[in-house]
Amino acid sequence: MASLKSGDYANTAFTNGYEFTQGSGYALPEYPFVAPPEIASGQPSQHAVVIIGGGITGLTLAACLAQHGVDAVLLDEDNTVGVKGASSRGICYTQKSLEIFERLGIYPRIANKGIQWSVGRTFAGDDEVYSFDLRTQSGYNLSRQPPFINIQQFYIEGYLVERIMELGHVELRWNNRVTAFSQNGQLATLKVSTPAGDYTLQARHVIDATGSRTPFREWVGASVTARKGDDRWCIADVRFTRRPPTERHTWIEAPFNDNRAVWQHLMGDEVWRIDYQMAPNADPEYVSREDVVRERLARQFGKDTEVEIVWVGPYAYRSEYVDRMRHGRLFFMGDSAKVVSPFGARGGNTGVADADNLAWKLAAVLRGQAPESLLDSYHDERHQAAVENVRVTNRTARFLRPADGIERVFRNATLSLARQHPFARSLVNTGRMAVANTYTQSAVCDTSGGRSVQNVALRFADGSAGCVNDLLRWAGSRMLLLVFGDIAATTASRLRALSTSAPLLAVQVVSRNGRATAREHVRDPEGHLQGACHAAGASWALVRPDAYVAATGTAVDARLVRQLSRAMATPLETA
Amino acid sequence: MKTDAQFEDADGFYEQLIDAHQGLSREESEVLNARLILLLANQIGNSAVLSECIRAARHLPGGGKTGR
**Which CATH number fits the domain that encloses residue A281?**
3.30.9.10
Residue A12: per-residue pLDDT:
28
Q: Does residue A443 lie in a domain region?
A: no
The DSSP annotation for A159-187 comes to HHHHHHHHH-SEEEETT-EEEEEEE-SS-
Cross-chain CB nearest to B4 (options A127, A405, A423): A423
d(CA A187, CA A167): 27
10 Å CB burial of residue A157 (0-12, 13-18, 19+) is buried
Q: What is the mean pLDDT of residues A155-165?
A: 95
Mean pLDDT check: name the lowest of A206-210, A256-260, A289-293, A305-309: A305-309
Is B32 within a domain? Answer: yes
Q: Is residue A448 part of a domain?
A: no
Instruction: Tally the residues of chain A.
Output: 575
Beta-bridge partners for A191 = A180, A200
Q: Tell how far CA A69 is from the center of its chain.
A: 21
pLDDT at A318: 82
A472 domain residue, yes or no: yes
Cα A103 to chain centroid, rounded: 14
B18 domain-assigned: no
* pLDDT score for A140: 64
Say if B8 falls within a structural domain.
no
Instruction: Considering only CA atoms, give the Rg of chain A.
Output: 24
Say what the pTM is. Answer: 0.92
Count of the separate structural domains present in chain B: 1
Residue B21 lies in a domain: no
CATH of residue A355: 3.50.50.60
Q: Which residues are paired to B57 by β-bridges? A: none
Q: Could you tell me if A422 lies within 8 Å of chain B, comparing CB atoms?
A: yes
B11 pLDDT band, cuts 50/70/90, is very high
Nearest alpha carbon to residue A202 among A213, A190, A218: A190
Distance CA A271, CA A417 (A): 35
Q: Residue B15 falls within a domain, yes or no?
A: no
User: Which residues on A lie below 8 Å from B10 (Cβ)?
Assistant: 426-427
User: Looking at the DSSP assignment, which residues form a beta bridge with residue A507?
Assistant: A482
Distance (Å, whole) CA A352 – CA A56: 7
User: Residues A80, A30: contact at Cβ < 8 Å?
Assistant: yes
**Would you place residue A380 in the very low, low, confident or very high pLDDT band (cuts 50, 70, 90)?**
very high
Q: Do residue B18 and residue A406 have CB atoms under 8 angstroms apart?
A: yes
Minimum Cα–Cα distance from B30: chain A residue: A406
Q: Hey, is the C-beta of A435 within 8 angstroms of any chain B C-beta?
A: no
Q: Do A348 and A425 reside in the same domain of the chain?
A: yes
User: Which one is predicted more confidently, B36 or A572?
Assistant: B36
A191 and A80 in a common domain:
yes
Q: Which residues of A touch B59 (CB under 8 A)?
A: 420
Collect all residues of chain B within an 8 Å Cβ-Cβ radius of residue A129: none
Nearest to B6 by CA among A236, A527, A416, A424: A424
Interacting residues of A58 by C-beta distance below 8 A, sequence separation 6+: A51, A52, A74, A76, A207, A209, A210, A333, A334, A355
- Classify residue A466: in a domain, yes or no: yes
Neighbour count for residue A470 (Cβ, 10 Å)? 18
A426 or B68: which leads in pLDDT: A426
What's the CA gap between A415 and A408, in Å, rounded? Answer: 11
Q: Taking 50 as the threshold, does the pLDDT of residue A144 lie above it? A: yes
Residue A519 confidence (pLDDT) above 80: yes
Both A540 and A429 in one domain: the answer is no
Range name among A106-110, A115-119, A394-398, A475-479 with the lowest pLDDT average: A115-119
Query: B18 contacts in A (CB within 8 Å)?
Result: 398, 402, 406-407, 410
CA distance, residue B55 to nearest chain A CA (Å): 13
Instruction: Mark whether A122 and A89 lie in a shared domain.
Output: no
Instruction: Measure the CA dihedral A367/A350/A209/A474, to 10°.
Output: -30
pLDDT of residue A241: 77
Same structural domain, A389 and A253: no
DSSP-derived letter for residue A61 is H
Q: Please list every residue in chain A whose beta carbon sits closer than 8 Å to the beta carbon of residue B33.
A: 406
Q: What is the pLDDT of residue B68?
A: 40
Cβ(A495)–Cβ(A506) under 8 Å? yes
Q: What is the pLDDT of residue A167?
A: 97
Report residue A126's pLDDT band, with 50, 70 and 90 as the boundaries.
confident
Average per-residue pLDDT for chain A: 89
Give the residue from A126, A412, A426, A435 with the most B CB atoms within 10 Å of its CB, the best one to mutate.
A426
Rounded-to-integer distance, Cα A106 and Cα A149, Å: 13
Is A442 contained in some domain? Answer: no
Q: What is the Cα–Cα distance from A491 to A483, expressed in whole angstroms?
A: 10
Our CA dihedral for A188, A192, A198, A203, rounded to 10 degrees, sits at -30
pLDDT at residue A5, as a whole number: 29
Least CB–CB distance from A398: residue in B13, B18, B56: B18
- Please identify, among A375, A404, A435, the residue that sits at the C-terminal boundary of a domain: A435
Q: Are residues A429 and A334 in the same domain?
A: yes
State whether A424 and A296 are in the same domain: no
Q: Which residues of A91-129 are buried (b: 16+ CB within 10 A; e: fewer)?
A: bbbbbbbbbbbbbbbbbebbbebbbebbebbbbbeeeeb
Which helix (H) or strand (E) segment is A540 a member of?
Answer: strand A540-543
Contacts of B56 in chain A (CB under 8 A): 420-421
Residue B66 lies in a domain: yes
**Phi-psi label, residue A550: left if phi above 0, alpha if psi -120 to 50, beta otherwise:** alpha
What secondary structure, in 3-state letters, does A446-508 show?
A: CCCCCCECCCCEEEECCCCEEEHHHHHHHHCCCEEEEEECCCCHHHHHHHHHHHHHCCEEEEE
Selecting from B6, B18, B61 the residue whose C-beta is nearest the C-beta of A410 gives B18
Query: Containing domain of residue B55, as a range?
Result: 26-68
Write the CB contacts of A438 (distance below 8 Å, at least 6 apart in sequence): A450, A451, A452
Whether the Cβ atoms of residue A424 and residue A418 lie closer than 8 Å to each other: yes
Evaluate whether A225 touches A323 at the Cβ level (below 8 Å).
Answer: yes
The size of chain B, in residues, is 68
How many domains in chain A? 3
A87 pLDDT more than 60? no
Q: Is residue A255 part of a domain?
A: yes
- For chain A, give the percent of residues with pLDDT over 70: 93
Residues of A in contact with B21 (CB under 8 A): 405-407
- Residue B35 — φ and ψ, nearest 5°? -60, -40
Lowest mean pLDDT among A83-92, A107-116, A541-550: A83-92
Q: How do residues A442-495 score in pLDDT, each as one tens digit?
A: 999 999 999 999 999 999 999 999 999 999 999 998 999 999 998 888 888 889
Report whether A456 contacts A467 (CB < 8 A): yes
Query: Closest to A423 (Cβ–Cβ): which among B2, B29, B33?
Result: B2
Distance CA A427, CA A376 (A): 37
Range of the domain at A525: 457-574
Torsions phi, psi of A304, nearest 5?
-85, -15
pLDDT at residue A570 above 90? no
The secondary structure of B24-46 as a DSSP string is --HHHHHHHHHHHHHHHHHHH--
Q: Are the beta carbons of A406 and B10 separated by less than 8 Å?
A: no
- Calculate the dihedral angle through the C-alpha atoms of A548, A551, A554, A556, rounding to the nearest 10 degrees: -100
Do residue A487 and residue A512 come from a single domain? Answer: yes
Burial class (CB in 10 A: 0-12, 13-18, 19+), A10: middle
Q: Which of A316, A333, A353 is the last residue of a domain?
A: A316
| Average of per-residue pLDDT across A361-377 | 96
Query: Do A310 and A325 lie in a common domain?
Result: no
CB A140 within 8 A of CB A270: no
Please report residues of B whose CB lies closer than 8 A to that of A410: 14, 17-18
With respect to residue B13, please indicate whether it lies within any of the assigned structural domains. no
Quick one: pLDDT band at residue A134, thresholds 50, 70, 90? confident
Provide the percentage of residues in chain A whose pLDDT is more than 90. 67
> Angle, nearest 10°, between helix axes A153-167 and A56-67?
30
Contact present, A538 and A451 (Cβ < 8 Å): no
pLDDT of residue A28: 80
pLDDT of the residue at A13: 30
Tell me the one-letter amino acid at A269. Answer: D
Give the tens place of pLDDT for each residue, A252-292.
Answer: 999 999 999 999 998 888 889 999 999 988 988 898 888 99
Which whole number is the average pLDDT over A388-401? 94
Please tell me which residue of chain A has the smallest CA distance to B1: A421
Judged by a CB distance cut-off of 8 A, whether residue A395 touches chain B is yes
- First-to-last alpha carbon distance for chain A, in angstroms, is 43
Band the pLDDT of A307: cuts 50, 70, 90: confident
DSSP state of A371: -
Q: Give the confidence band of A561 by pLDDT, cuts at 50, 70, 90.
A: very high
What digits encode the pLDDT tens for the residues A62-77? Answer: 999 999 999 999 999 9
**Vertex A476, ends A474 and A480: CA angle to 5°?**
75
Q: Does A406 touch chain B (CB under 8 A)?
A: yes
Enumerate residues 20 to 39 of chain B having a beta carbon within 8 A of any beta carbon in chain A.
21, 24, 26, 29, 33
Our CA-based measurement puts residue A339 at a distance from the nearest CA of chain B, in whole angstroms, of: 20
> Which residues of chain B have a CB within 8 Å of the CB of A392?
11
Is B11 within 8 Å of A392 when comparing Cβ atoms? yes
Whether A497 is covered by a domain: the verdict is: yes
Q: Do the chains contact at B3 and A422, CB–CB below 8 Å?
A: yes
Assess if residue B16 is contained within a domain.
no
Which among A316, A348, A369 is the end of a domain? A316
